[in-house]
Chain A
Amino acid sequence: MLLAVAGGKGGCGKTTVAVNLALSLEGEVQILDCDVEEPNVHLLLTHQPAWEKPVTVSMPSFNMEKCLLCGKCSDFCQYNAIAQLPKRLLFFQELCHSCGGCKLVCPAEAIVEVERTVGVVKGCRAEGGLSLVYGVLNVGEPRPIPVVEAVRAEANPKGTVIIDVPPGASCPVVASIRGVDRLLLVTEPTPMGLHDLALMVDVARRLNLRFSVIVNRAGLGGNSVYDFCRREGIPVLMEIPYSRRIAEFYSKGVPFVKAMPEWKEKFREVFRSLQEG
């Protein structure tokens, strides 16, 4: 089963749920951290780094001896990554989407594609027999998608795979959850939690995914998140209480099921209901 843990809002408990769920399950379990801008899963699990692979994207390289300065490549580029000056070209690599169009339209074969590293994927064995894979986007790179896709490419097709999804509701989230079997949406019962949950429900519906909700910091706010779930027919599978103790474990980088093992059974129950429903 390929299961993603998302939520829209930052800091709503996605990583907490993903890690504690992973540590509660038996059998072959893999956790993929797709929040490549700020990966945090590896901070909560003891592990030994085992392997790493650079993530590269292609970009054009211009042979100025062949270039006719005809302007076709800069006209074609939808991302304004190529600027045509009277006697030369300027290329802005961060704006390039690696579509390959410039090479295609160049009449002089002056463009070849070269690879550029934008991040890294790391994998290892972590505590509890988990397999951990996480991506790290290089600081200053604007586009996380290639790194997210490289992380997802490591998914073990045979076991249980849990994906920790970045915050927000845009393209990196879509790349992290597209095609998963089940989506868990973590929220908190605040106006912000509800607002961002509703956005994630829209994304999930747009992608035809099956989803359910976990309420984190239950008891913090009002009932609006529960009312929303009831109205929309979304199952609420678990509530994690608003607890200073749980917050303190998180602050130390300790998954709370290690200190409060009674929660493991609750997480297993969530997993069983996902398998059944």
Chain B
Amino acid sequence: MIKELVVVSGKGGTGKTSITASLAALASKAGLKLTLADCDVEASNLPLLLNPEARREEAFSGSKVASIDLEKCTRCMVCEENCRFKAIKEFKVDELLCEGCGVCVQLCPAEAVKLKDRDSGRLYASETRYGPLIHARLNPGEANSGKLVTLVRYRARQVAAERGGQIILSDGPPGIGCPVISSITGVDFALLVAEPTVSGLHDLRRILELVRHFKEVKPMVAVNMWNVNPKVSEEISVFCFNEGLELVGKIAFDGTVAEAAAGRKPVVEYAPRCKASEELRKLWGRVKSLTGLG
């Protein structure tokens, strides 16, 4: 059985990607067969820390998009009047507003409107020194990020199965909407990374509520940069205790983490002796035993 662990947070910028990269380095060092997935397809940052070598690339079409043949169009306006997405103006389709529903195609009396496949982005299968990495780039401004996340995870599972992988480690997107739902659906474990800020605690509550919609997913929490506000950090610990959540680690604010990012390396590799690296190794130890990987 391949275990799947996703790192999410609700709030952005809490350190998901830095933590994922360090967990990848530690898991690989522990001899585990690892597959990585970057489920933040809108702003994919994990490759920046893992310097992957791209091996395969595929096109992704997230939906259809309408297009109007102006030679057939009789300017009757029926499409514009019935488009719920206000995507048609002066007989032209605004591709960013069109959701590809097909109502315009259905109603056009002149058969002037067609649906075509939209070019929504690319998916990449790459190699890193810790194992294969599946990542993607949704075209800026596009919709259907959730579908691309689903495809990233599907490809990651395929690669893991082919190569006898033991764990799939995913870096999730911020928020609680469709790409996050797609990142969490069907995983075994979700590591919720919280920062000790008023916003961080608020957002932790919401992402936890979402994770609990998925009965099969076991949540665990890590507090990043805990010493920026020890008081809120303590509130998060109490919150975890009251909610019966496993607090797997607290990582101190450490300037070395930013240096490591600038040097494009996981901090546990860049500066294995710094405070954050030490705490990340402890965190990994807890995660490893909770996930039954050793």
Q: A191-B262, A195-B43 are in contact. Are A100 and B199 (CB under 8 A)?
A: no
Tell whether, in the assembled complex, residue B143 and residue A171 are in contact, meaning their CB atoms are under 8 Å apart: yes
- A143 CA to B181 CA in the complex, in Å? 10
Q: Which residues on A sit within 8 Å (CB–CB) of B206?
A: 37-38, 139
Closest Cβ of chain A to B170, distance in Å, is 16
Q: Which residue of B lies closest to A191 (CB)?
A: B48
Is there contact, CB below 8 Å, between A206 and B197? no
Q: Which of A11, A78, A99, A105 makes the CB contact (< 8 A) with B12?
A: A11
Contact status A78-B102, CB under 8 Å = yes
Interface of B is mostly: loop
Stretch at the interface among A63-71, A246-254, A269-277: A246-254
Number of interface residues of A (CB under 8 A): 60
- The answer to whether B73 has its CB under 8 Å from any CB of chain A is no
Q: Is A98 an interface residue (CB 8 A)?
A: yes
Would you call A137 and B177 a contact (CB within 8 A)? Answer: yes
B141 at the interface (CB under 8 A from A): yes
A221, B11: Cβ atoms closer than 8 Å: no
Q: How far apart are the CA atoms of A170 and B182 in the complex, in Å?
A: 15
Contact with A along B134-173 (1 / 0, CB 8 A): 0000101111111000000000000000000000000001
The interface residues of chain A lying within 8 Å CB-to-CB of B179 are 168, 170
- Given the interface pairs A167-B174, A253-B198, the reply to whether A248 lies near B140 with Cβ below 8 Å is no
A110 within 8 Å of B by Cβ? no
Whether B101 sits at the interface, judged by CB under 8 Å, is: yes
- The answer to whether the Cβ of A90 comes within 8 Å of any Cβ in the partner chain is no
Pairwise interchain contact A38-B10, C-beta atoms closer than 8 A: yes
Given A40-B199, A220-B258, answer yes or no on A76-B142 (Cβ-Cβ < 8 Å).
no
- Cβ-based interface call for A15 (8 A): yes
Instruction: Kindly state whether residue A172 has any CB partner on chain B within 8 Å.
Output: yes
Let me know if B89 is at the binding interface, CB within 8 A: no
- Binary contact track B116-140/A, C-beta < 8 Å → 1, others 0: 0000000000000000000000101
Q: Does B219 contact A (CB under 8 A)?
A: no
B106 to chain A: which residues have CB within 8 Å? 76, 101, 104-105
- Given A142-B178, A167-B12: A173 and B102 within 8 A (CB)? no
Give the contacts of A201-221 with B (CB-CB under 8 A): 202-203, 206-207, 220-221
Please report the C-alpha to C-alpha distance between residue A79 and residue B103 in the assembled complex, in whole angstroms. Answer: 13
- Evaluate contact between A170 and B103: CB separation under 8 angstroms: no
Q: Output the least CB separation between A48 and chain B (Å).
A: 18
Contact A221 B84 (CB under 8 A): no
Contacts of A15 in B (CB 8 A): 199
Q: Which residues of B from 177 to 200 have beta carbons under 8 Å from A?
A: 177-181, 195-200
Any B CB within 8 A of the CB of A200: yes
Q: Decide yes or no whether B266 CB sits under 8 A from chain A.
A: no
* Docked complex: A189-204 residues within 8 A CB-CB of B: 190-192, 195-196, 199-200, 202-203
**Between-chain CB contacts (< 8 Å), 12 pairs:** A8-B42, A11-B174, A11-B195, A38-B10, A76-B106, A104-B106, A166-B175, A169-B42, A170-B42, A170-B140, A192-B45, A244-B228
* Nearest 3 interchain pairs by C-beta: A11-B13, A10-B12, A99-B101
